[in-house]
């Protein structure tokens, strides 16, 4: 099971084998009003992961702060079900 919440710093990409990132499915959902982790961090993660070759799905929710958007559960579960397992 992938993490459902995480913080990301672009320097983390320097510690990962680039081959493991290519095609890696990543789903990012972030609230534009998040007061704890500003939305720019999620945007930066999206750009960095996509540039590294990850298969990134990004969704920014305009009226969401630092909380989990339960209304996306069905969409997220569909994404997880459709995403093939990546051997590691």
- pLDDT per residue over 13-71, tens digit each? 888 888 988 998 999 999 999 999 999 999 999 999 999 999 999 999 999 999 888 89
Please check whether residue 29 lies inside any domain of the structure.
Answer: yes
Q: What is the pTM of this model?
A: 0.81
Please check whether residue 35 lies inside any domain of the structure.
Answer: yes
Range 64-67, long-range pairs (CB < 8 A, 24+ positions): 64/30, 64/31, 64/32, 64/33, 64/34, 65/31, 65/33, 65/34, 65/35, 66/31, 66/34, 66/35, 66/36, 66/37, 67/31
Q: What pLDDT was estimated at residue 87? A: 53
Please check whether residue 11 lies inside any domain of the structure.
Answer: no
Please check whether residue 49 lies inside any domain of the structure.
Answer: yes
Number of domains composing the chain: 1
Please check whether residue 42 lies inside any domain of the structure.
Answer: yes
| Domain residue limits at 53 | 24-82
> Does 6 score more than 60 pLDDT?
yes
Q: What pLDDT was estimated at residue 68? A: 84
Q: What pLDDT was estimated at residue 47? A: 93
Please check whether residue 6 lies inside any domain of the structure.
Answer: no
Please check whether residue 19 lies inside any domain of the structure.
Answer: no
């Amino acid at each position: 099971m992938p993490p459902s919440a995480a913080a990301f710093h672009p320097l983390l990409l320097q510690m990962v084998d680039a081959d493991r990132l290519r095609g890696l499915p990543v789903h990012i959902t972030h609230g534009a009003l998040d007061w704890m982790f500003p939305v720019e961090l999620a945007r930066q993660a999206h750009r960095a992961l996509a540039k590294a070759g990850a298969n990134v799905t990004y969704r920014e929710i305009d009226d969401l702060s630092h909380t989990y958007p339960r209304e996306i559960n069905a969409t997220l579960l569909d994404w997880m079900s459709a995403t093939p397992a990546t051997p590691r």
